[in-house]
Amino acid sequence: MKKLIGAFLVFLPFIAVIVGVNYYADPANILQVGYEQEVAQIMASGQNASNIRNMDDRSLIREYAENTTMTIDTLLLGSSHSMQLTKDIIGDENTFCAGVTGSDLRDCISIWRLMLQSGQSPKRVLLTMDPWMLAEGCLDNRAMTDGYVQFCKENQLPSLASESNWRVKLEKLSQAFSLVYFQSSVVYLQQGLQNTKAPIPTTEFYTETDIRRADGSYGYGAELRNVTDENMYDRVKNYILFKPELMSKFDGISQTLYKQLSLFLDELKQDGREVVLFLSPFNNAYYDHMVTQTDNYVEILSVEPLLRELAQEKQIKVVGSYSPYECGMTQIDFYDGLHCSSESIARFWPDDAFATIEKP
């Protein structure tokens, strides 16, 4: 026992150095608190937040809901695909996109209820539905589930989440002791990046860095935005050769999630609220690959007609399509195999997407 204690005391200074450096540098913003609050406060003030990186979108939305004094008339829910929708595209100055990276249906339900709890009462809701949002194999362990669990209890539905996200918190905490993270932290410090990591308020629509705007929309940095036909093909080729994680994990359409979506749409439509579904298109080259395959791409693409059938039943409008050809898009309208630009969405977005928005 004494030998074990002695060995621990010998290594204790090294452990302390690793933890100290990782916490101080924290290149991925996962150990220190307050980063998302800074971004949220900038957005709540009506400015855009540039120079952002490695942000916890879910923490950001929680902070924004607490900090904003804006009255949200049109609320956008969904994944990173929803974050290319701006207030100018929607046509309502009081639009806010509460999209989060890797969102699943549980996020959307939880964020919706969070906004209601914060005093918001949107007149319109747009729900961006990715195919994998109906697959249990694609559920994200980062998802916000508090509001979702309550939703399931109220509707006497089986819940696909525990009420605790301790595993995610433990994974984050473990990075404090990680040698790999320590190596990244040392490089980060050597380059002096810890002094330039704070978010910067701006009124610019695009900057050299990633930006989250006051309306919740997201602008990618110049490196990702400035794409040519040639390097776009290289980006898409990687999607074809190495199947994206969400595509690989797609294990079929879950009847449980489908039922939950149906009841969630009913909840959104209460009090005469107008609801729209948005289907974000895939890159042309990647879509061409998907339609020629016989594996789970067939079922992934079968989600669209299912959603259209459900929307028709609920009398909900559908905007967009997983097919880029239906949206009149070309490969250069995309940043990669899955994400199209705000400018390309604006071209096919109908003026009457929301009938209750008065056009000038």
What is the rounded CA–CA span in Å between residue 260 and residue 135?
12
Give the mean model confidence (pLDDT) for residues 286-297: 89
Rg of the chain over CA atoms, in angstroms? 22
> Which has more pLDDT, 171 or 309?
309
Phi (first) and psi of residue 201, to 5 degrees: -70, 140
Flag whether pLDDT at 95 surpasses 90. Answer: yes
Give the mean model confidence (pLDDT) for residues 1-13: 54
- Best-predicted range by mean pLDDT among 53-57, 131-135, 227-231, 234-238? 131-135
What is the rounded CA–CA span in Å between residue 170 and residue 166?
6
What domains are there in the chain, each with its CATH number?
2-348 (3.40.50.1110)
Q: Bridge-partner residues for 307, per DSSP?
A: none
Percent of the chain's residues with pLDDT above 70? 81
Q: What is the pLDDT of residue 30?
A: 63
Q: What is the pLDDT of residue 102?
A: 93
Q: What is the pLDDT of residue 8?
A: 46
C-alpha angle 27/342/211, rounded to 5°? 25
Q: Bridge-partner residues for 48, per DSSP?
A: 202
Flag whether pLDDT at 295 surpasses 60. Answer: yes
Q: Amino acid identity of 287?
A: Y
Give the mean model confidence (pLDDT) for residues 88-96: 97
Pairing type for strands 211-212 and 218-219 reads antiparallel
What is the rounded CA–CA span in Å between residue 213 and residue 210?
10
Give the mean model confidence (pLDDT) for residues 288-314: 93
Contacts of 280 (CB under 8 A, 6+ apart): 81, 82, 84, 128, 130, 320, 322, 338, 339, 340, 345
Flag whether pLDDT at 163 surpasses 50. Answer: no
Give the mean model confidence (pLDDT) for residues 65-73: 95
Contacts of 135 (CB under 8 A, 6+ apart): 249, 250, 251, 252, 253, 254, 257
Q: What is the pLDDT of residue 232?
A: 81
Q: pLDDT class for 183, splitting at 50, 70, 90?
A: low
Give the mean model confidence (pLDDT) for residues 214-236: 88
Give the mean model confidence (pLDDT) for residues 327-349: 94
Q: What is the three-state SS of the chain?
A: CHHHHHHHHHHHHHHHHHHHHHHHHCCCCCCCCCHHHHHHHHHHCCCEEECCCCCCHHHHHHHHHHHCCCCCCEEEECCCCHHHCCHHHHCCCCEEECCCCCCCHHHHHHHHHHHHHCCCCCCEEEEECCHHHHCHHHCCCCCCCHHHHHHHHHCCCCCCCCCCCHHHHHHHHHHHHCHHHHHHHHHHHHCCHHHCCCCEEECCCCCCCCEECCCCCEECCHHHHCCCHHHHHHHHHHHHHCCCHHHHHCCCCCHHHHHHHHHHHHHHCHHHCEEEEEECCCCHHHHHHHHCCCCCHHHHHCHHHHHHHHHHHHCCEEEECCCCCCCCCCHHHECCCCCECHHHHHHHCCCCCCCCCCCC
Q: What is the pLDDT of residue 75?
A: 98
Q: pLDDT class for 332, splitting at 50, 70, 90?
A: confident
Q: pLDDT class for 212, splitting at 50, 70, 90?
A: very high
318, 307 contact by CB (below 8 A): yes
Q: pLDDT class for 297, splitting at 50, 70, 90?
A: very high
Give the mean model confidence (pLDDT) for residues 172-190: 60
Q: What is the pLDDT of residue 130?
A: 97
Q: pLDDT class for 244, splitting at 50, 70, 90?
A: confident
Give the mean model confidence (pLDDT) for residues 218-239: 85
Flag whether pLDDT at 148 surpasses 70. Answer: yes
Flag whether pLDDT at 11 surpasses 60. Answer: no
188, 25 contact by CB (below 8 A): yes
Tokens representing 64? 């924004």
Q: pLDDT class for 303, splitting at 50, 70, 90?
A: very high
What is the rounded CA–CA span in Å between residue 35 and residue 197?
9
Flag whether pLDDT at 29 surpasses 70. Answer: no
- Best-predicted range by mean pLDDT among 13-27, 159-173, 192-206, 294-308? 294-308
What is the rounded CA–CA span in Å between residue 145 and residue 165?
8
Q: What is the pLDDT of residue 229?
A: 73
pLDDT digits (tens, 9 = 90+) for 254-264: 999 999 999 99
207, 51 contact by CB (below 8 A): yes
